[in-house]
A and B are shown apart, each in its own frame.
Chain A
Amino acid sequence: MKRSPSLVCLFLMASLLAGSMAAQVSQDEQARIEQAVPDRPIVKPNKPRRLLVFNRCDGFKHSSIPYWDKVLQTMANKTGAFGVQISSDMSVFTPENLSGFDAICLNNTTRLSFNELQRRALLDFVRSGKGLVGIHAATDNFYGWDEAAEMIGARFVKHPWTSDKTVSIKIEDPDHPLTRHWQGEGFTVNDEIYVTHRPFFDRSRLRVLMSLDMTDPRTRNLQGVGPEDLDTGISWVRSYGSGRVFYCSLGHNHHICWDRNILMHYLAGIQFALGDLQVQTEPIAYPRDKRVDNLSGLLAKASGYDFDKAPDGLYAIEQAIRQLDEDPAYRLAAEGLILTHLKGQGSLAWKAFLCRQLSNIGTERSMDLLMQMLKDGQTADMARFALERIDGPQVRSALLRALADLPPKVQIGVINTIGNWRDRQAVVQIATFLDGSDPQLREAAVEALAKIGTQDAAKALLERMDKADRSLRQVIADAAIRSADAMAADGLTGEAIGVYKRVYGSDCDARIRAAALSGWVRMDRSAAAGLVHSALNSQDQGLVVAACGMVDLIPDQAGRAKALDLLPQVPIAGRLAILTAIARTADRSLAPAVVAIANSSQGEVQMEAVRTLGVIGDQGCVVPLAQIAASSQGAVQQLAREALVSLRGEGVDKQLLQELERAQPKVQCELIMAMEGRSTAGASKSILKLASSDDQQVRAAAQRALGQLAVADDLPQMVRLLWANPSQDMEDAIVSTCRRLGTAQACTDALLQVYDRSGPQGSRMVVLRTVGRLGADNGLAVLLDQLDSSDGTIRTEAIRALSSWPDCRPMDRLWQIASQAGDQTERVLALRGYIRMVPMYQATSQQKVAMLEKAMSTATRDEERRLVLSVLPDCVCIEALRMAEAALGQPGLKAEAESAIVRLAGLLIRQQPDQVGAILEKVRAGTDDESIRQRINQILRRPNQRFRGD
């Protein structure tokens, strides 16, 4: 050991060094430091104090070191709080040398290595009642010397907040002498910030004065900042033995050295360390926060919870915890509170609730307690609920370590959890359970390995697969497939295929081999054809059918076609599966083969083949499908028709048209229906030709299709055909077409042109009817004219047509007929038409009621009288109500009268409540109809309400 030089030499050296380093600080900067250093000490020193400023670096040398030296010297000079001696010689650390000082300041020292004696000297120094101050990098020290790291309260881990970053700092202890000058207000600062973790940074030992404010997103959301860094202290004090420690992590950037508030902070800290400034050093366990107090109160109140108590108190706690996100430090505080309660007394229900909260917000801090709870069968599940969600490397290794010694029931749960994590480190240990004697544990282990799904896991499974008994073998094989799926998802294609192959080739049930085959085929499409074909030829029917469902996984057409060729030799279920698979491929090239199958099969297979053609077919399928439709019935026919409608591709409509000419009648019908369903453009001319076909079915189909397909210039021909061969289908087609195209007027012209008063009665009737249905203005004249026809049938048809006319111009003539015609039928028809038109008439409600009165008295049958009552509510006036009231007494009209009254009353009651009310009450008293009674009740209760249907 070197003899330590005398103190004097030390001083000389120190001054020399100080001098040379101080030269790095510019004049201007020195002035700033001078300015910023407080004029006076915080307190007058009790006696002259000496501060040893140690600035040796065996690690990184901060450029701010000379600045801090300057700061401390300036402080000494200006305030007289202490005298400064600067050194970087490790030999200062002897009891004799240190005895001359009141405190040591580590100025950004790094990676110092202390021998045994020096260690003892430093520790004894502080413990004996002296002080230690640390600036910034002072905590980048004491590697391999935990005791000292614990003393100063930190050991550097990383600094995600680099020197260019600006962070927010919150004052945790605003009334403390060291922080008072900030008056509780946080501040931002641009500096490099160190992170340090447990066990050295421990709030149960340190009194943290300032910490990073993680509610500031800029501070929180930096890359490299993890959940474990959320509680990052900036400065703290503590007692150590009889001594005192102060540390502040600010001080990397030079400008910190002329920050007034920070320098004030340091001065106070130093005076505390020196023993002059008395301050609180008791640790504050958590950031002082009203929410923490609130949560604490809620927990205390609810701590008596058990299953038979109301859960209200629990909801309040959950609510409070849900607000945690705003402040991660609060979350840590909450976790601490929960742990405290969890350690204490309380029902299982309460503990389960607490564990549930930890599952949401817990960290590794909860791990120890939860691991303990795992050992007890009553609390194992709830603890594992939290542990599984907390996860993390420490939790995982703790669980693995503890696994072997847990009770078997708990072991199963833990193995399940490890499987859920897909913890790769666990494979070896889990695999040991595969050979155990407990079948439940074995099964759990198998499933866990399946989930972990690494190569090692698969290997462990496969090694045991063949040796296992039959039922276990299936379980293992299942698991192996599952792990192969996981490997495939992770991109380990070749390895996955290896496993699938093994299982496929093993002696397992067909369903398992099929699953393996499926995995293999999906992973190796180039081998798909060969694999599927050979499986289709297998002896094992189960495998055959499963393989049928994989035909769509064959990537090439030739392969698929070959599979399709094998269709006849597989069971029905397989044939259906192949067709379904083909449909999924949408591979048109296979359509001809499927056509062949459709033509040579029956029943289900034929139906599926037809359905498949609807999906993959093109124009080549038109004829086969039409033929099938024409020659079958029921389900097959229906499917074939639908397939024709859904065929895709431009050539299909062309093909349909082309085939139309030469096809047999039954097939023609199908083609026509298909075109109708597809709204095929340009088909109308060809179909029009067939509208006068000799074949009745073709004719009907063509005429119906025209309703959907005809274009404007087809109408004249259609009209001529209608006259020549009256039919309902053609009439409907004309009406549909006109509605679709909006050509009622032109079409009526055409109809008028063919109309011949001396023509056949059938033709005349149908034309009149059509004119009536079209309701175009230019049709009115002929209908009115034909009212005078000598042919009674024609007259009747004209009346019918006029009765449903879209406006009320025929009214007068209809009234004439209703009141004067000789024929009963004509009178009735005309009256009905008239009655319906009254609401359309331009007149006052009262006038319309008068007209309806006339109609009522003219009516000879109750049907017409009821019709009058049904249109009466369109005339909203009290007269209408009275008219309906008058009808109440007639038995055949009572129901309609009541209905009319109720409808009118709903609209009139506001205007004339008394009159209307009286009528309503009369009706209510006399009705048998419950719904009428209820409606009346509603109206009387709430006369202002509108009712549906009014």
Chain B
Amino acid sequence: MMIPREDQFLTRRELLRTGSMIAAAGLGLPYVVRAAALGRSGRPAASDRIVMAAIGTGSQGTSNLRAFLGFPEVQFVAVCDVDKRHSAAAKRLVDERYGNQDCRTYVDFRELLAKEDLDAVSIALPDHWHAIVSVACAKAGLDIYGEKPLARTIVEGRAICDAVKRYGRVWQTGSWQRSEAHFRRACELVINGRIGKVKYVEVGLPDGSDGPDVNLLPVPEGLDWDMWLGPAPYRPYQDFTTNGGRTIHYQWRGIMDYSGGQLTDWAGHHVDIAHWGLGLEYTGPVEVEGQGIYPKRGIYDVPKAYKFRCRYANGIEIIVANASQQPHGMGTTWYGELGWIHVDRGNTLVASDEKILRERIGPDEIHLYRSDDHFANFLHCVRTRQVSITPAEVAHRSISVGLLGEIAMLVGRPIRWDPEKEQIIGDPEASRLLSRPMRGPWHL
């Protein structure tokens, strides 16, 4: 029996949950289902499941959807995308998983939120949409798995954090590197002083590139282009498939109206790791300055190459640049008085001296939050109301570094930042770039 949405804060699931619910991650366990809790189909009873929907089922959204579908305790009931081709494909995936036709599809997330009785959502949208949808979901009482970067601007990011806090929601950012053992290990070594006092840090993110040339085409069948644009300034539909390129669904990252490029796409990964190892994840730099090289042609206007320096109040400097400009390439490298440590994907963890990597961390030292599975961690926190391993505030601080770098490079002069008040000091023009006016009628 479905209870109408408006009258209930907690879904009937919340009310009816019994003790036979699923086992949990805790201090490092994978999210496993206890045999006793499984129903006849090998899954928890319907009333015990975490009911979810996916908003945005393009490339990343589908990948996340697949991951969540692998958890028997999750039940997807709906998918939402402004491109009907995407939502149809996602629906197929969900229906196949459950062996029925029940998955509902939506174009407008507001309709989804009004009509569906959900516990949580998985959001994967272009950056310019993150804030509006995230805030709406938090207001609707849902826990959220949201992709990085947290938001397109610093003001929007703060709005998301405020909404999540106001409504007591669980937020997990798609910064899954924290749930990989070697990243946590690297950060634990650094934060427990195994390389001594850290002086500076290098973060390497992907190089940018020129974009394809413009090619106006009619809006493809099934895509609601105005809705795709949402709060971003109007432009007609552009698609580069006839140029051997890809659709807008793959090109938006290079366009400033929607994203800050590779810099903002990846800041939530390696800058976040840099912060984690230094205990700086709830604050920010006090000065940022740098240079970007911008394309002279093509549809992309985000920097092709970028390098900026962030100075923190405690004297540490973090230098963020595209990989070609960093000695260790991609990843994070901390330089301390006693040596250095470099960490990257693909289990890459190296140090100036091998012995450092064999060091043991004692019980009275700092042990960082352990999660062995990023999605499992989210689901566990949905149950226990624990803070996830990458909550909104942390995501906000890591992307803020990227956004401040973006601003500093655009205005071409050093900017001073107050991380407590979250204001740029003494530079009204740079301050304008902390937010983006939204196309009517959209607002936060």
Contacts and interface: CB of A to CB of B under 8 A. Distances in A.
Interface stretch (A42-50, A408-416, A873-881): A408-416
Interface string A566-590: 0000011100110111011000000
Interface string A219-233: 000000001000000
A729 interface: no
Contacts of B297: 310-312, 315
A618 interface: no
Contact of B23 (A308, A309, A388, A604): A604
Given A310-B213, A511-B141, A571-B17, A580 B435 contact: no
A470 interface: yes
B19 interface: yes
Contact of A485 (B166, B299, B363): B166
Contacts of A318: 294, 301
A320 to B, nearest CB: 12
Interface in B281-335: 294-299, 301
Contacts, number: 211
A585 to B, nearest CB: 13
Contact of A482 (B14, B29, B166, B387): B166
A420 interface: yes
A602 interface: yes
A751 B236 CA distance: 83
Nearest to B141: A511
A611 B384 CA distance: 11
Contacts of B34: 603, 634-635
Please report whether the interface of chain B is mostly helix, strand, loop or mixed according to DSSP: loop
A346 B162 CA distance: 42
Given A325-B412, A576-B383, A416 B440 contact: yes
Given A635-B34, A639-B27, A545 B14 contact: yes
B14 A471 contact: no
A899 interface: no
A261 interface: no
B235 interface: yes
A360 B429 contact: yes
Interface stretch (B5-13, B90-98, B180-188, B265-273): B5-13
Contact of B10 (A356, A545, A583): A545
A601 B19 CA distance: 9
A153 interface: no
A509 B6 contact: yes
Interface in B349-386: 360, 362-364, 367, 383-386
A676 to B, nearest CB: 12
B234 interface: yes
Given A322-B411, A511-B141, A548-B385, A604 B441 contact: no
A646 B24 contact: no
B385 A470 contact: no
B437 A384 contact: yes
Contacts of B437: 359, 384-385, 388-389, 417, 420
Interface stretch (A491-499, A512-520, A527-535): A512-520
Nearest to A414: B440
Nearest to B292: A322
B18 A572 contact: yes
A646 B352 CA distance: 29
Contact of A646 (B363, B387, B411, B413): B363
Contacts of A648: 363-364
Contacts of A410: 440
Please report whether the interface of chain A is mostly helix, strand, loop or mixed according to DSSP: helix
B220 to A, nearest CB: 17
B162 A485 contact: yes
A509 B19 contact: no
A829 interface: no
**For A318, A447, A571, which residue has the most chain B Cβ atoms within 10 angstroms?**
A571
A381 B17 contact: no
Given A509-B9, A515-B167, A646-B367, A420 B435 contact: yes
B233 A312 contact: no
Contacts of B214: 307-311
A576 B383 CA distance: 7
Interface in B7-51: 7-10, 14-15, 17-24, 26-29, 32, 34, 37
A752 B339 CA distance: 42
A608 B301 CA distance: 49
Given A360-B432, A549-B168, A381 B233 contact: yes
A515 B23 contact: no
Given A352-B234, A361-B429, A607-B23, A514 B9 contact: yes
B139 interface: yes
29 contacts: A308-B214, A310-B214, A312-B297, A318-B294, A322-B411, A360-B429, A381-B233, A389-B437, A391-B432, A409-B441, A416-B441, A419-B443, A471-B6, A482-B166, A510-B8, A514-B9, A515-B167, A515-B168, A542-B8, A542-B14, A573-B385, A577-B384, A580-B384, A603-B19, A634-B34, A638-B26, A639-B29, A677-B363, A678-B362
Closest 5 CB pairs of A and B: A413-B440, A510-B9, A542-B9, A511-B9, A388-B437
